[in-house]
Structure formats: structure tokens, C-alpha cells
Amino acid sequence: MLWGYLMGNLDGIVRICFSTNALVTGIVTIGLITLITYFAFALEKKISVASPFLEKITVNLSEMGLLLIGSLIVEQVFGSLTGGSAIELGGLYANAELTLLFYCLFVFNNRLIVLMNIALPFIYHPAFDIVRMKNQYWPLFIIAYIVLVIVIDYLYGHKDDLIVSNYKYLIAQILFGICWWILIWIDYRFPLTDIIGMLIVFEIYMLVVRIIEQKMSTYMHAYNDLEVKVNYDALTGVRNRANLNKLSKEAFEKYSKNSKEPLTVIMFDIDHFKKFNDNYGHEIGDEVLRHVAHVAERELHMDGSNGQLFRYGGEEFIIMIKGTDSQHSTNFINGINQTLIEMPLFIQDTQLNVTLCFGVTTLRATDKSFDDIFQRVDGYLYESKNTGRNKMTVEGEAQEYSVQPIIHI
């Protein structure tokens, strides 16, 4: 019976699906989805589980803002459309909004958007549900709403499954569309032909959106991989020399204009590194480099310093620490040395005693560029080498490490 009804009203369904207004709506919606996808990758990269609460809230509010701006743009577009019946334009407008709601729920890990999706069926209706709950279809409303909440919860909690599973994504979007169009039908009683046509249009929109999301995801991940290759050292995983060249210029420009905030540069290398390669082979030498980089990164994290570690080349590394002067940086250097003592590297049951030389300096008012800082800290590093190694030279003064005794229990 339903099949016969569909065949008898096929012309009306096709007219809705392929009208000029539907095409305009699709183009605008897909354009917004493309922008949202780009910003989703950019924003979600900024936060993690360990991110500060204020930072998470800022990102979540920014994502909500994107959704609201997208909704306002859709509203303005429909305000300029004059062709088509009120039912057709209203249905296409609802589809555009539903597409934005579903997609933002899918790409953003945002509880505010989840709550908005859950609350929206109760707040969009002009009668605020009083009329709705008095009509004979209120049980259908309750069932559709419960299924919708289940779909929303699944979307929020199983994003990884939906990203890799096309059929789960398809089922979720179909149920989302059906539930919403049942709610809309209860409130506005659009003809069944229009409802079916609009549901088909929604699924077409979401199919195109899925293709765009997958393509952009591939491109964005490829871009991220390229960014890692360009800015990070493949052997140790820390930032590389090219990244140092970029960030050092930016840091100099900022801190040379602000005399109240110090910028400290630390340069260090591994004592007698050539012996590790000669005695144990280059693979062991690589392990030593990775071990030292890991210890320095660990101490940066433990110290809470606003510092960045770079592999300058060979066995040489550079650290830029913002907001800390050279004297206070000695605590951090002592921490690296202490950790190397307490956590030695073992290779083939042999303990490798790794020691480092450091040069330390802070940005001065007389420095004309970062090269001035680099030349100075490089000279301090060589002073440490020439005075016996396994020590640090801070602003021209050679110092021994402060070593804490190891307590064996």
C-alpha cells in the first residue's frame, strides 16, 4: 500500500528532491560543512584530556559559535529564496539545519552540542509542546524522541566506530532523520509526499557530506603527517633544526621587545658521543640520542617550564625556555643530569654512562638577532668541553652539577 502511494506520488517526490531550491540549499549546506570540517580539525587538535579546563571551555564555546553562525547563514539564505511553496522551503530549511546539527554532533567532541540536540525538540515548537502533548500523536512523539536521544548518545560515544564504519554511520543518520521528520510531521502535518521527499533530500545531503568528510579527513591527516615530517626529527621525535629556525625568530621578535620576560637558550651535546658509535655501532648511538632526548623532554614536562627542545644536528640539542632566566635554568639542567645518573641506559647488559655538556645564556638588550644568542651559547658550550666536560657554563661561568646521592633501599 505504501509502495503504491509512493509510485502514485513519484512526480511530487522527484520535484522536491531535484528542485532549484533544493540544489541551492545543498550547495550552501555543503559549503558550510566544508568550513566546519576544517575548523573541527584545527580546534580539536588544540585540546586533549590533559588540557586546562578553561581551554576546553573556550574551544567548546567556539564550536557552538560555529554551529550557530552556520544556522544563521542558512536562515539568511532561505530569507532570500522566493520561489517554491512555503512547505517546500520550510522542509528544505529544516533539512539544512538538521544536516548541520547531525554533522556538528559527529565531528565535535562537545557536550554543549549534545545537550542542544537533546533539548531542541522541546524548544523549537512555538506552542512549547502544550498543543503537541494534547493531540492524539503524543505517544509517537515520545517514541521518536527516545530513539533520537539514543542515536545522539551513540553518536557522541562511538565516534571512532562511525568514522571507520560506513554502515553504522548510515544507520545513525537515517534514524536521526526519521526521528526528526516524525517530530516535524506531528507539529506541522506536512503531506506525506513532502515528508518522504524531504527525508530523501536529507539522506542525499548526508551522503555528500560523508564523502566530503572522508576526503577532507584524508587530506588533513596527510597535512599533519607532512607537518610532523617537516618540523620534527625522525630519529628522536623532538623538534628539528628547521623548526628552530622558525620559532627562534618569532621568540626573538617577541622577547626582545619585552625586557620584563626573559628568554633563555640552552645548548648541550653528548660527551664523547663518537665513542658510542665506534665501540657499539651506530644503532646503539641512535639509542643514546633517543635516550637523552627522552630524558630532556621528561624534565621539561616535570619542571613545568615553558620550554621547547630541538635537535640541532648530530649529538647537539637546543632548548628555548620562555619566562625563565639563565640562573633559574640551572635547576632544570641539574634535573637532567640527575635523571641520567638514576636512569642509565643499558645495552646488551652493559650500562652506558651518558654525560652532557651545557652552555646557557639569556637574551640581552644588546642582542641584534637570535644569531647573537646562538653564537654566545655555542661558545659557552665549548667552554664546558674545554674545561673537562660533564659540566655547564652559565653566562661564561663554568659550574659543576649539583648531584643528589642515590639512596639504595
Q: What is the number of other CB atoms lying within 10 angstroms of the CB of residue 342?
A: 10
The angle at the Cα of 19, spanning 13 to 22, to the nearest 5 degrees, equals 100
Of residues 63, 88, 299, 315, which has the active-site annotation?
A: 315
C-alpha cell, 354: 651518558
CA separation, residue 94 to residues 89, 236, 313 (Å): 9, 52, 58
**Alpha-carbon span 378 to 359, nearest angstrom:** 7
**Alpha-carbon span 233 to 362, nearest angstrom:** 25
Q: b vs e for 262-278, b when ≥16 Cβ sit within 10 Å of the residue's Cβ?
A: bbbbbbbbbbebeebee
Rg of the chain's alpha carbons, rounded to an integer? 31
* DSSP secondary structure letters along 153-218: HHHHH-HHHHHH-HHHHHHHHHHHHHHHHHHHHHHH---HHHHHHHHHHHHHHHHHHHHHHHHHHH
Q: What is the number of other CB atoms lying within 10 angstroms of the CB of residue 141?
A: 19
**Alpha-carbon span 198 to 233, nearest angstrom:** 52
Q: What is the number of other CB atoms lying within 10 angstroms of the CB of residue 346?
A: 9
φ/ψ region of 390 (left if φ > 0, alpha if ψ in -120 to 50, else beta) reads left
Q: Has 227 been annotated as catalytic? A: no
Catalytic positions: 315
